[in-house]
Structure formats: C-alpha cells, structure tokens
Amino acid sequence: MAGAVAFELSWLLLPGLPLGIAFLFLIVFFRDPERRTGRGIVSPADGRVLEADAAGRLVVFMGLSNVHVNRAPLDGRIAAMTHTPGGHAPAYRPDARRNERVETVLETPIGPVTLVQVAGTVARRIVTYRAEGDRVKKGQRIGMIRFGSRVEVTLPGDVRFVVRPGDRVRAGETTVAEVGRGLVR
C-alpha cells in the first residue's frame, strides 16, 4: 500500500516539475538587483561588450543569464524617445541593427548621448520606465528588454573607452568611458 501511495504521489508531482523549473527561470531572469553607481560613464546594460570604437559607439549584448534592466549611463534629460518596429535577428549579430528598437536621446553635461535598446530573437518587448522630458540620474533604471537583446550607446565628442570587445560589464556599475583627460563624476 505504501508503494502505491508513493507511486500516485510521483504522478501528481511530475506535472509540477516543469512548471517549477519555468517559475525559477522567470525569477532569475526578471531579477533587478540594487547597484552602486560607478564613476565616469557607466554601462547601460549587463553583458558582454561587442563593440567599443573610436567613433564613440558602444554595443553590449545581454544573454539570457544577464540582468535585463537598463540604466542611464550619465545624468541627463530625455530629449527624445522613439520606438521603431523591426525584425528579431539574434542580438549579437550586426544585422540586429534592423531589429525592433527604442532610441532614447539624453541631453547630458557632455552633449547628446543616444541609447538604443534593441530586441533580439526571443525578446519581443521593450519596456520603457521613463518618458520624454524626464530627468534621469546616472545608474537610474530607464527600461527593460525581455529575453536576450542588446543596448547600443553613442557618445559625443572627446570620449575614450576603457572597455574592449569581450569584456563583461554591469549596468550602472562598470565604468565604460572617460571624457577628455578624466572621468565624469
């Protein structure tokens, strides 16, 4: 009789196992830890640097295991925010530039900074937490891209990246660039 009860309980628990695993995945994926804001121009996203070029362009790829909350790289005011529909190519590929995106232009002390949140293959939704005219502080949450994506930042003027392709960065914490001869505070 004890064996029959154990057999019946195992059949009752079996359907719950995949649901439990899915639940744990969602909790890990949608986490949003507090961060200590770094010095200088900080990364807008967790992930791996794909590009950091002399023209002031930084691209960060967020894999499924990264935190997907995006943060402001500098203090500023949101001058413009534009949503553009598009495809869903893998976010680590160059042709992801034609994917669905939200482009945010920040007016900052160093000039305009453009931040582009790009949806990837699995990501089908970009959630913005701010609107045009809002003031943001460096490291403040500005939005989220769900399930694998990328963030591109274009910086003005005399900036020098202190990260290279392949480096791992954390949103709001990792210093990614210096301005002129020193860091922005």
Distance between CA atoms of 128 and 117, rounded to whole angstroms?
9
Instruction: Give 96's DSSP letter.
Output: G
**Residue 149 known to be catalytic:** yes
C-alpha to C-alpha distances, 100 to 58, 72, 127, 141, 163, nearest whole angstrom: 18, 20, 12, 20, 26
Distance between CA atoms of 50 and 37, rounded to whole angstroms?
22
Q: How many CB atoms lie within 10 A of CB 68?
A: 26
Residue bearing tokens 């930084």: 58
Phi and psi dihedrals of 136, rounded to 5? Answer: -130, 150
Pairing of strands 69-71, 57-62: unpaired
Residue bearing tokens 């495809």: 87
Which two tokens mark 37?
């804001």
Catalytic residue among 10, 43, 65, 149: 149
Which residues are catalytic, by number? 149
